[in-house]
Amino acid sequence: MIYSQTPTEVYLFELSKVNGHYSLTNPINISNNPGYDNQPSFMKNGRQVLFASTRNQQTDIVSYNIRTKKKKWLTNTEGGEYSPLQIRSSNTFSAIRLDPDGYQRLYSYSMYSGESTELVKDLKIGYHGWVGRDELVSFVLGEPFTLQHSNIKTGVNTILDDTIGRTILKLPKSNQVAYISKKQTPWTVNTVDLESGEIETMIHTLDGSEDFVVTHSGVLIMGKGSVLYNFDPYNHSDWVRIADLSNYGLKGITRLAISPKADKIVIVVEEE
């Protein structure tokens, strides 16, 4: 099992950009729950956030409605669920399920009934990202960890790279996926073209950080400690500071999620 169970909380911020500079306002603790709350993602409508949350000594998936400020539990299996992602614009989502016997696979779930279907039977997936209607790219457990491209319909899995980190994101308006490479120090944010397999380096990571998001305009956002940074590949040569969350009493930034319009950001921090 690769998941860290460090107690964490999930915060929602308003994100604005003026004259090329980002700012954060109005922090809301949307998990507000003792224990592990992590791995957030926005739904396509931008009005709800999915994340993994501790309940009855295991991890289930929750949706948070930004307008009503209400949470709804979406899973209730014997296993623990992690890393939820809405599938296209449907009323289904995918998540990693770790069963009590150690069986770990990727499943799809109905947001209404919670009914689940195994998606990729041959791979022990730790993290994933959708790149097409029936295609995904995953962090696959093994020695070493590998980045693999899977076609759900054909069942074909292709290794793209290895020795990677946990973040996997499709870049907007492209056939490229961004991910962390740990083959050298400092680690790097790389891109891989899903057709050619060509790999390029975008920028080094912040020291020890492996969580980032990409806005709809292609800007990368990453945190280290209590500070949030951004990198615009068209205008920046290095990471540029956005805000220090210690001003809100928060620290230990890890996973992030960005809304479709890039007007909101969700940040996972250490539990106080």
Could you tell me the pLDDT band of residue 5, with boundaries at 50, 70 and 90?
Answer: confident
Average pLDDT on 114-121 reads 96
Specify the pLDDT at position 2: 41
- Decide if 203 contacts 172 (C-beta within 8 A): no
Residue 31 backbone class (left: φ over 0; alpha: ψ -120 to 50; beta: rest): alpha
| 3-state secondary structure string across the chain | CCCCCCCEEEEEEEEEEECCEEEEEEEEECCCCCCCEEEEEECCCCCEEEEEEEECCEEEEEEEECCCCEEEECCCCCCEEEEEEECCCCCEEEEEEECCCCCEEEEEEECCCCCEEEEECCCCEEEEEECCCCEEEEEECCCCCEEEEEECCCCCEEEEEECEEEEEEECCCCCEEEEEECCCCCCEEEEEECCCCCEEEEEECCCCCCCEEECCCCCEEEEECCEEEEECCCCCCCCEEEEEHHHHCCCCCCCEEECCCCCEEEEEEECC
Where are the chain's structural domains? 8-270
Specify the pLDDT at position 132: 94
Specify the pLDDT at position 3: 45
Specify the pLDDT at position 64: 98
Specify the pLDDT at position 255: 98
Specify the pLDDT at position 20: 87
Average pLDDT on 132-141 reads 96
Average pLDDT on 165-170 reads 98
CATH 3.30.70.20 fits 8-270, yes or no: no
Specify the pLDDT at position 272: 84
Average pLDDT on 140-160 reads 97
pTM across the whole model: 0.96
Percent of all residues in the chain with a pLDDT value above 70, rounded to a whole number: 99
First-last CA distance in the chain: 25
Average pLDDT on 4-15 reads 91
Could you tell me the pLDDT band of residue 159, with boundaries at 50, 70 and 90?
Answer: very high
Average pLDDT on 211-230 reads 98
pLDDT 10s digits, 12-70: 999 999 988 999 999 999 999 999 999 999 999 999 999 999 999 899 999 999 999 99
